[in-house]
Amino acid sequence: MHRSAPRLSRILACAAVPVMLVAVGCSSDSGSDGKKNAGSSSSGTASAKPSEPTVEAAKFTDLPDPCASIAKKTIEDLVPEAKKKGGTAGGSSDLSVRSSCSWNGLDDQGVKGSQYRWLDVGYTRFDSDQSLGSGAERATADYTKQIAKTKAAEGAKKVAAEPAAGIGEEATLVTYGLSKTDEDFAYATVVARTGNVVVTLTYNGAGYAGAKTPSSGDIVKGAQKAAKEAVAAVEKTAGAEDAPPAKGDAEDTKAEDAKKDAKKDSDDAKGDS
């Protein structure tokens, strides 16, 4: 009986050894998994996509008053006897994005009949948008659409289109004839783009009571003159805040500065005495 006790102790000690080895093995596997997880996390961070470049900012942030965009003298020449000298503004939910104005009048020439004239100017401004593109790109697309729309005018005859030089960054002149109210009308439309703004100006005329239809050349000349003024109004509106002072204002400013300097010198002299 006394000899069996040491033998039992040795058996229990040997049985405990595998348990320790298993524990050590588990600890090692856990460390390996930790390294794998850390590597996976690092890989995920490295694969992040760079941010997209921003589009170019729009050049113009506002539109001019369309009814004041064309000089009064020009209106008098192109639309004699206009019903409303100041024009009739078109409806718009946001005048900084879309606006228009029109004039019309019938000039009674007695036994020679009457001459009818109609002038319309419209503005559309496009903002830059990350998903849609820059304002200039969007305006260019609309410029193309407006030309196609004008050329497809219902009932238009002898439609012709050509570039119009010296009006905005790009411009197209579309001319055609149209019969309505039993009279023949001569039409000229100038579609122009400056920056992110599209300007569409239409001028037309007809002779009533036996009067002759105005020549296409006269209508084109009038449309181009008015279109140049309409485009210039956009550029003037955008640059008004940055414009230098007028010559008279500059001289007044210099005179005022001179008075201030003289007063300061006088005050300094009194202080020294």
User: Domain 66-239: which topology?
Assistant: Protein Transport Mog1p; Chain A (3.40.1000)
- How many whole angstroms separate alpha carbon 99 and alpha carbon 124? 7
pLDDT in tens, 49-63: 666 678 899 999 999
For residue 156, the 8-state DSSP code is: -
pLDDT in tens, 133-174: 999 999 999 999 999 999 999 999 999 999 999 999 999 999
Q: Give the other-Cβ count within 10 Å of 217's Cβ.
A: 11
Give the per-residue pLDDT at 214.
96
pLDDT in tens, 227-250: 999 999 999 986 544 434 434 434
Calculate mean pLDDT across residues 245-263: 49
The encoded tokens of residue 152 equal 């497809």
Give the per-residue pLDDT at 12.
46
Contact of 231 with 199, CB cutoff 8 Å = yes
Give the per-residue pLDDT at 241.
43
Indicate whether 29 pLDDT > 80.
no
The strand pairing partners of 114, in sequence order, are: 108, 208
Domain ranges across the chain: 66-239
Contact of 117 with 187, CB cutoff 8 Å = no
pLDDT in tens, 81-127: 999 999 999 999 999 999 999 999 999 988 889 999 999 999 999 99
Contact of 227 with 212, CB cutoff 8 Å = no
Give the per-residue pLDDT at 262.
57
Q: What is the mean pLDDT of the chain?
A: 81
Give the per-residue pLDDT at 244.
41
pLDDT in tens, 190-229: 999 999 999 999 999 999 999 999 999 999 999 999 999 9
Nearest CA among 224, 234, 238 for reference residue 124: 234
